[in-house]
């Protein structure tokens, strides 16, 4: 066999083995139920902001604490204590990827990504227009 083929096979084998094992250890999107039953373990939770519940951000007291309520992909609802300033446009977010863990019965988030209203999601906007037109 050629040197290059040997190199290829070794490289590919190592890479694939490493990738598969690494994927096994990576987290999957979870629910609040799982997080609360495993306190201290970091999870990624995908869900939406519940706008009817208060969003508390008092930067004068603590500039990096935002408290809000969120519903996860299976309908589980929890208050979240996020260790970040309230992001701009948070109230308009369409979905949230939250990273955090449960401690002392409270969900503490340390990172959050939010999805802003999609530029393409305007068909809904057009349907809403009907209400404003009539």
Residues 31-70 that bind another protein (CB under 8 A): 42-44, 46, 57-65
Among 7, 17, 33, 77, binds another protein (CB under 8 A): 7
Among 17, 76, 79, 116, binds another protein (CB under 8 A): 116
Q: From the CB of 132, what's the least distance to another protein, in Å?
A: 8
Name the helix (H) or strand (E) containing 97.
strand 95-103
Q: From the CB of 50, what's the least distance to another protein, in Å?
A: 17
> 13 to 32, contacts with another protein by CB under 8 A?
15, 19-20, 23-30
- Which positions ≥6 away from 92 have C-beta within 8 Å? 116, 117
- Give dist(CA 96, CA 114) in Å, integer: 4
Q: Identify the CA nearest to 111 among candidates 132, 85, 78.
A: 85
CA dihedral of 91, 93, 98, 102, whole degrees rounded to 10: 30
The smaller minimum CB distance to another protein, of residues 77 and 116, is found at: 116
Q: From the CB of 115, what's the least distance to another protein, in Å?
A: 4
Q: Identify the CA nearest to 35 among candidates 4, 72, 84.
A: 72
Among 50, 55, 71, 114, binds another protein (CB under 8 A): 114
């Amino acid at each position: 066999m050629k040197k290059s083929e040997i190199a290829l096979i070794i490289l590919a084998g190592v890479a694939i083995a490493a990738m598969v094992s690494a994927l096994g250890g990576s987290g999957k999107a979870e629910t609040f139920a799982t997080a609360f039953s495993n306190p201290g373990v970091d999870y990624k939770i995908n869900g939406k902001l519940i706008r009817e519940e208060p969003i508390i951000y008092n930067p004068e007291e603590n500039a990096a604490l935002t408290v809000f309520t969120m519903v996860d992909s299976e309908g589980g609802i929890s208050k979240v204590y996020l260790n970040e300033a309230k992001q701009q446009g948070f109230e308009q977010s369409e979905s949230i990827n939250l990273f955090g863990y449960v401690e002392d019965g409270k969900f503490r988030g340390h990172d959050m990504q939010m999805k802003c209203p999609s530029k393409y999601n305007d068909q809904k906007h057009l349907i809403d227009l009907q209400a404003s037109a009539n």
